[in-house]
Amino acid sequence: MLPVAVAEPDVPSSRGCAACSGRSARATPSFPFARTLGTVPTSTRTTRATLPACAPDWIRRLPKAEVHLHLEGCVPLDTVGLEDAGHAGVELDPETGAPAFGDLAEFLAFLDRCCARVTRGEQVEQIAYGITSRAAADGVGHADVIFNPTHWPAWRSDLSELVARLDGGFAAGEADHGVSIGLCLSLQRTQPPGESAELVDWLLATRPDRVVALSVDGDESAAGRTGERFAPLFRRARAVGLRACAHAGESSGPEGVRDAVELLGAERVDHGIRAVEDRSLVQELAARAVPLDICPTSNVRLGVATSFATHPIEQLRTAGVPVSVNTDDPLLFGTSVTGEYTRCVEAFSWDRTVLGAVARTSIESSFAQPERRRELLADLDDFLAQGTPEPDAATGARERR
C-alpha cells in the first residue's frame, strides 16, 4: 500500500503550437500509453462554468501555484548567447523562440549547455528575478523551483554562493511581485552515489532558508530503478523537516511512481503520468490523495505522450488522482502556466469548476509556508466566488503562447 501523503496544517496561438499541432513530430513517442482506465468522458454541454476555448485572461488571473518548475529551464537563451539557431545548434520555433528536441537525452544535453554558460552571480540573480516576474504575469502566487547542482558546473564548488545569489533574485522579485518561492534541491539519478551523499551532507550542514525540499530527477530509463539507492538520503532529509518530491513515471513506468512514494516518501510526484498503465496504482494514488505535478507540453515535446489530446492527465484526474498543471522548463518549451491551463481547456473541455480544483491542488500540494498557503487558498476562494464575467475570447489568439 502507498503511505498517506504528508500534508501540512502562454497560451497557444490560433495557428497552434508545436505541442498542439504535432509539429514536434521529431519526437517519436517512446512510451505510448495503454488506455487502461477506459474512455475519457468529454463534455459537450455548455454551462455557466464553461470557458470559451480561448480565455487566457480569466485563466491568467486565476490564483494558483506552480510546483514543477526547473531552474535549468528558466535560463533565457539571450542571457547565455544561444538566442539564434546558429549559436544554439538546434532548430528554434519561429513563434516562441524555443528549441526543438528529438528526445529527453537531446533536451538534457542542450539544458547542460545553457547552464554551463551561467558563470556570473548577476546572471543567476537575473534568472531568479525573471522567474518571479513570469509567475506574477501568470497569476502564480507561489512556485517551488527545482534546481540540480550537477547542471551548474561554474557553481558546484560553491553551492552556498549559488543559493545566496538565487535568494537575492527571488527576494527582489518577491518584493516587487508578491510571489513566494521555495527551492527544491534535486539529486541526479545517474550521478555517483558518493556525490549524491555529499550534496545531502552539504544541505543538512548549511540548511539554507530558501531550500525547502529534497528531490531527484534525471533520465529514469538510463538509470534504472534507483529508489532503494536514494531512500536513505531522503530519510535523512525528511528527518530534519525537509519536504520530499521526486520525478517518476516519465521515462519510467508505473513502478517508478510506486518507488517514489513508497521508498522515497515523496509527498507529490513530478510527472507520474505513466501510473495510468497500472489501474491498481491509480486507485491507490487516488485513495491516498497523492498529487501528480503534470507538465503536458513537456510530455508531448519529449515524446512521452503522443499528443495533447491523448495526454493521460484527464484519465488520471477523472479517476480521482489530484493533479496540478505546470510548465517543467518553460523557456525551453516555449510555454507558460496560462498556456498549459488553456490547452487543457481546449483538449478536455475543462470548465471553471475543474480549473478551480486543479488550481486548488497546486496550492495545497505546494511547499509554501502554511500561512502563505492559507492566503493563496483564500485568494482562490474569493476569485471563484466573484463570478467574474467571461473574458473576450477574441483576445485568445493574440495571447496563446
Closest CA to 389 of 61, 24, 4: 61
The identity of residue 17, as a single letter, is: C
Rounded (10°) angle between helices 254-262 and 279-288: 30
Secondary element (H or E) of residue 195: helix 193-206
Burial 250-269 (b: 16+ CB within 10 A, else e): bbbbbbbbbbbbebbbbbbb
CA distances from 336 to 28, 48, 130, 228, 333 (A): 23, 26, 13, 35, 9
CB-CB contact of 69 with 131 (8 Å)? yes
Strands of the sheet containing 64-70, edge to edge, are 64-70, 140-147, 180-188, 211-217, 243-248, 268-271, 292-294, 323-325
Phi, psi for residue 83 in degrees, rounded to 5:
-80, -5
DSSP 54: S
Secondary element (H or E) of residue 183: strand 180-188
Closest CA to 212 of 54, 369, 84, 390: 369
Q: How far apart, in Å, do the first and last CA atoms of the chain sit? A: 41
Active site residue 125: no
Please identify which residue in the block is written with the cell numbers 517514489.
260
CB-CB contact of 33 with 316 (8 Å)? no
Count the neighbouring beta carbons within 10 Å of the beta carbon of residue 385.
Answer: 8
DSSP 106: H
CB-CB contact of 130 with 79 (8 Å)? no
Phi, psi for residue 215 in degrees, rounded to 5:
-140, 175
CB-CB contact of 324 with 294 (8 Å)? yes
The identity of residue 168, as a single letter, is: G
CB-CB contact of 302 with 110 (8 Å)? no
Q: Which of 125, 250, 255, 340 is catalytic?
A: 250
* Residues belonging to the active site: 250
